[in-house]
Amino acid sequence: MTEISKHDELIARYLNGNFSNDDEVLLLQWVNADPKNKKQFLELKDTWDAGFKTKANTNDELLKFYKGQVRSQSNRKVRTWVYAVSAAAILVIGLLLGGLLPSGLPSKGIQQLESFYVPAGSRSELTLADGTKVKLNSDSRLDISPDFLSKNRVVRLVGEAYFEVKSDKKHPFTIETPKFDVLVTGTKFNISSYADDSQISTALYEGSVQLSTINKQVVHLTPGEKVSFDQKTMEPIREKVRIDADLAWVNGEFMFEEIPFSDLIKRLERWYDVSLIYQSSELDSMVYSGSFRNQETIWQVLDALKITSPIDYQKLGVREFELNYRPM
C-alpha cells in the first residue's frame, strides 16, 4: 500500500468517524506537520458538506470524494488535511499527547496551571490523576491546580464539561468558574459556563454538590436537580434535570428546548466551528426547540432552519455563513 493510499483511507475514516487509536496517532502527526493543513481541510470539508449533504456518509463515498480532490491537485504536492470537525477531537488529542497549553486565565492565586483546551467543532475526554473522568465540550478549557494531589483537588473550567468525580471525602473536589464554584466529594454532574451565554448552569445526576456564587449565594443540589443563573443578575432558577437534553452533547447529540435564536447561533458555531452572521432584529425574537446528531452537516442544519423558519442563508467564505430574515 502506497503512502498516498494510506492517507486516502485515513482521511476517509476520519471524516466518517470510524478510525482507531493508531489512526489518531498518524493524523496527529499530520496535524502538526503544516500550519496550512487547517485551511485546506476546512475547504475540503465545505466541499464535502455541500456536495454530499443529502447522502449517507459511507466510507466508499468519502474515499471516492477524497481521491477526486487529490487528483484535482495533480500539479501540487499531496498534503494531508486534518482538522477536528467531526465527533472526535483530533486536535485535542494532539494537545494532550504533545504538551499542556498555558492557561492565560486569572488563576485565583494558583500558579503554573496545567491546561487542556478543546477547540470549536470538537469534543474530548480525559482522566485526571485522581481517577476523575472529565468530558469537555466544544470551545472549553480545563485548568488543573499544580498541587492537585497533595492538597484539595482544584480545577478551573471555562465552557462546558461533564464530571464523574472520584470519591475522596478527605480531599474535596472543587471546580472554579468565573461566576460560581462547585464543591463535591464524589458525584456525577454537568457544568455549562460559557462567558458569552445568557445563562450558566449546573445539573446533578448522582451524589450532591454545593455551589457558591460571586454574589455570596450558596445553593445545594440533590440528584435530579439543575440550577441556572442569568449571567447579568445571577438570579437562580431551580428545575428538574432533563438527562436526555442536558447530557445529549456527551453522546454526540445536540438537543435544545425553547432557547433564544442568539443562543442557538452560539451553540451551532461551537458545535460546527463555523461563523454564523446575522443582523435582522426579527430573528432575535424567535425561540427554537429541536435536536440533531453530529453526523448532520452544517448545511443540513441550515437547510432545516430554512424549511421550518423564516430564514434564508448564503455562504460568505470558508466556514462562514450569513443568515437573513425571510418572511414566510
| CA dihedral over 235, 241, 243, 244, signed as positive or negative | negative
CA-wise closest residue to 257 among 291, 226, 307, 225 = 291
Phi, psi of 7 (to 5 degrees): -60, -45
Q: Is 286 in contact with 278 (CB distance < 8 Å)?
A: no
Q: Is the pLDDT assigned to residue 192 strictly greater than 90?
A: yes
- Mean pLDDT of the chain, nearest integer: 76
- Taken in order 59, 61, 62, 64, is the CA torsion positive or negative? positive
C-alpha cell at 181: 464554584
Sequence-ordered list of residues with C-beta below 8 angstroms from that of 42, at least 6 positions apart, any chain = 83, 85, 318, 319
Lowest mean pLDDT, pick from 41-45, 82-86, 124-128, 239-243? 82-86
Q: What is the DSSP letter of 102?
A: P
- The pLDDT tens digits of the residues spanning 211-235 come to 999 999 999 999 999 999 999 999 9
* Mean predicted confidence (pLDDT) in 61-73: 44
Long-range contacts (CB closer than 8 Å, 24 or more residues apart) made by 276-285: 276/321, 276/323, 277/316, 277/320, 277/321, 277/322, 277/323, 278/322, 278/323, 278/324, 280/323, 280/324, 280/325, 282/310, 282/325, 283/311, 283/323, 283/325, 284/260, 285/261
Nearest Cα residue to 205 out of 174, 247, 266: 247
Which of 169, 154, 164 has the alpha carbon at shortest distance from 133?
164
Cut 0.95: pTM above it: no
Within its chain, how far is the Cα of 288 from the centroid?
A: 20
Name every residue whose Cβ is closer than 8 Å to that of residue 327 and which is 6 or more positions away in sequence.
310
DSSP-based three-state secondary structure for 14: helix
Lowest-confidence pick of 127-136, 230-239, 253-262, 265-274: 253-262
All cell numbers assigned to 236: 437562580
Is residue 133 within 8 Å of residue 164, measured between CB atoms?
Answer: yes
**CB contact at 8 A, 101 and 46:** no
Q: Tens digits of per-residue pLDDT, 94-122?
A: 233 332 333 344 444 445 678 899 988 88
* Confidence at residue 19, expressed as pLDDT on a 0 to 100 scale: 59
**Which uninterrupted H or E stretch holds 258?**
strand 253-260
Contact 177, 124 (CB under 8 A): no
For the cut 90, the answer to whether the pLDDT of residue 177 exceeds it is: yes
Among 26-35, 226-235, 252-261, 275-284, the minimum mean pLDDT is found in 26-35
- Looking at residues 63-79, what average pLDDT do you find? 39
1 pLDDT above the threshold of 60: no
pLDDT of residue 175 exceeding 80, the answer is: yes
Which pLDDT belongs to residue 214? 95
Query: What pLDDT, on a 0 to 100 scale, did the predictor assign at position 102?
Result: 37
pLDDT tens for residues 145-172?
888 886 779 999 999 999 999 998 888 9
Which range in 92-101, 173-182, 236-245 is most confidently predicted, on average pLDDT? 173-182
Task: Convert the pLDDT of each residue in 18-50 to its tens digit.
Answer: 656 677 667 667 766 776 666 665 665 566 565
Q: What amino acid occupies position 6?
A: K
